[in-house]
Amino acid sequence: MRGPIEMAFMNSGLLPMHRDPVPHSARTFALLFGFVFALCLALTAQVATAQPKPRIEKAADLPRFSYAVEGNVEELTRSPERFAPFAAAVRKDTEAVLAGYDIADKATRRSLVGTLARLDFLEGRYDSVLARVAQIRALQDKPADKLVSGSLMRASALSAKANGATGEAYARGVADALQRELGAAPYPLIENDVKSGKAGAELIGETLILGQAREVMQPIVDRSGAISSDFAPAIVNARYALVAVLPLKQTLVAFYGGFVGSHTVAKTDIWADRDVALKPAQIKAPVVVAVWDSGVDTRLFGSQIVRGASGPAVIAFDKYSRPASGELFPLPPEQQARAAQLAARTKGFSDLQASIDSPEASEVKSMLSNLTAAQYRPAIEELRMTGNYSHGTHVAGITLAGNPGARLVVARIDFGYTLKPDPCPSGEQSERDAAAAQAYVDFMQKMGVRVVNMSWGGDVSSYESDLEKCGIGKTLEERKSLARTYFDANKAALTRAFASAPGILFVTAAGNSNNDASFIESIPSGIVLPNLITVGAVDSAGEEAPFTSYGPTVKVHANGYQVESYIPGGTRVALSGTSMASPQVANLAGKLLAVRPELTPVQLIGIISTTADRSADGRRNLVNPKKALAAAMAAAG
């Protein structure tokens, strides 16, 4: 499992995405790309007799490769001479995968073509860059992505063709090309993408670009002398960012700032008219809900907290799945003394994402843009820790809003926040995780919980990459096998635990990786059970969020973009992620149960799903609390 997502980082493209737990931390300069296969009619006879390509139905079945790396990864990233043979090997394998396999998932194909597009740009193949960006867009499903995916890369290639790839004329050409392209698109549709681009431009710096190479990949190389295909694209991304993006920083900050400033029409907020706040007279019986997350500042929710003989009803396990105490993750003394500053940084990231010019946003930009190499690890780890610390309280505020009948049980899980995984995957850890999962659910059943929100997750690739970071497994095949064993054990344990509580509705976030949750085998969002519902994220206008994952298990969508709620201490901050969308549905389920306590999880899912509004493109199923409550009360007679 992973800890909560640092959404401002994710959306700016400066950190690799985790899955909410997803805390889904959504996240490098990787663009998500794809390709289109074309068959020539003249080859029909040959195709009829040719062997079909192997079909890839799951991300874990993709081929893996290893690349020898000698010495310093940062030098490899900086040096054209050292990078060239590495790039050639990555290109060869990437092209072979695209040509040799029938990959079911468009996001995976987009990612592979994106790697090739960046390599093409670095090698001056600008026409090829333009063709690959067109391929990427052809494989997009989200309306905004169809219009603006790869906009910066496309603008850079067009300007490089006309003006060369350096100098003032090149920079002006990039800005002009971006203006032509983004200016032709409906601004409300692309607003979130443009604001994310602005935040990324404001935060980018050499230390952020090279931090993963120094702190994550270098230890891998020092141990094994090689890097896997899980990490190789990140080296390509880092070189592309150094060569093609960082020199344009001031140009991009000025362009995006001006572009956002010239489009001030606010989006229509569809959620205010759909929301319902229950009145005490409507409550037939209190409903107990649980927030299974990073902990909750229970002081903020007063009489809505379920209490036992010794205080708030809490079950807690630390990051090693060992029993713990306390409703909030215990911050180290240094961070406790700086709690106000850390809260201000959380607000600063939120303001950056919303393009709000505030003192907090300015402090975050200054801090991250000017990091030294020595400051990178402690700064990033502290930001991750702060995100984990705040996450559960923010989710709880959304879950309880407008429902005086809701009563909260805290199920605290501690997420790791260090760049090197801690704990590393192991058989012993998997056994503790399994036991803890069942203990959480048993406790929630004992406390009479009816609805549980889970804004976190993981997938099999997370295990594999963690094994490589930890130096476990001598070969790609051994790591793949171990990852599958540990992941399957975790998935089975969660599935058993959920199934053991058929009277509880489990609500989970889809994830923030812009992937098919089923293809990447995300859990719990990819689990199918009659008492579990997975939620994707849209914005205030109901447009699909750029980061939201999707797929057959994602049944409904709710607002997950700049959602305001509490963080520990009582400050209200707007955060984004499927982490914020999932508790909207948990909130709705709690309200339905408050007015109709007899409803079962299957009935709750049915009401929530059937009263949701299907978008014209069929991709979004927007929850409608007002309609859901009306339908539930009408059915009650």
Show me where the domains of the chain are located: 68-261, 280-329+389-635
Residue corresponding to tokens 């597009």: 117
pLDDT (0 to 100) of residue 637 = 64
Among the residues of 401-454, which ranges form H helices? 427-446
pLDDT digits (tens, 9 = 90+) for 287-301: 999 999 999 999 999
**Residues 6 or more apart whose Cβ sits within 8 Å of residue 508:** 453, 454, 455, 457, 524, 525, 532, 533, 534, 535, 582
Q: Which residues of 222-240 are buried (b: 16+ CB within 10 A; e: fewer)?
A: eebebbbbbbbbbbbbbbb
Q: Which residue has the tokens 């003032």?
A: 168
Per-residue pLDDT at 367 exceeds 50: yes
Range name among 192-206, 351-365, 459-473 with the lowest pLDDT average: 351-365
| pLDDT value of residue 126 | 98
Beta bridge partners of 505: 451
| pLDDT at residue 51, as a whole number | 62
Are residues 4 and 457 in contact, defined by beta-carbon separation less than 8 angstroms? no
Does the structure show a pLDDT above 70 at 21?
no
For residue range 67-115, what is the model confidence (pLDDT) as tens digits? 999 999 999 999 999 999 999 999 999 999 999 999 999 999 999 999 9
Residue position matching structure tokens 């009563």:
407
Confidence of residue 309 (pLDDT cuts 50, 70, 90): confident
Residue 636, pLDDT score: 75
Give the list of residues 6+ apart from residue 120 with CB closer than 8 angstroms, or none.
Answer: 126, 128, 129, 132
What per-residue string of b and e applies to 333-344 under the rule 16 or more CB within 10 Å gives b? Answer: eeeeeeeeebbb
Give the C-alpha separation, 453 to 451, whole Å: 7
Q: 22 and 43 in contact (C-beta within 8 Å)?
A: no
Question: Rounded to whole angstroms, how far apart are CA atoms 413 and 329?
Answer: 8
Domain 280-329+389-635, architecture per CATH: 3-Layer(aba) Sandwich (3.40)
Please tell me the distance from the alpha carbon of residue 351 to that of residue 364, in angstroms, as a whole number. Answer: 10
Its pTM surpasses 0.85? yes
pLDDT in tens, 243-288: 999 999 999 999 999 999 999 877 889 999 999 999 999 999 999 9
Residue 26's pLDDT is what?
32
Q: Is residue 289 a contact partner of residue 586, using CB atoms and an 8 Å limit?
A: yes
Strand 323-324 relative to strand 314-317, pairing:
antiparallel
Quick one: pLDDT at residue 52?
Answer: 84
